[in-house]
Amino acid sequence: MPFWKPLKNRVQTELIKRGYCVGCARSLSEAERQPYPGDEDKELVTCSCRRVFVYDKRLNTYRRAEFDEVRK
């Protein structure tokens, strides 16, 4: 396994944990928000670089959206 692979994963995990986009490192609190279909405790968050995240209001956490979540 290349050296950069584990480092890249650790950096991306830390950025998401702190509420920043993994692509452009902008704050996700300033990103565009839409209601998550079928769950009022979540929001779809779209960064200006067009990466999409899911924000869980109860846990106050972000995660990358899966492909099928974006298409809904």
**What residue segments make up the domains of the chain, in order of their start?**
4-70
pLDDT tens track for 10-62 = 889 999 999 999 999 999 999 999 999 989 999 999 999 999 999 999 999 99
Helices (H) and strands (E) in the chain, counts: 2, 4
State the pLDDT at residue 49: 95
**pLDDT higher at 70 or 47:** 47
Per-residue tokens: 34: 């839409």
pLDDT tens track for 1-12 = 566 668 888 889
Separation between Cα atoms, residue 36 and residue 12, nearest integer Å? 23
Per-residue tokens: 32: 């565009």
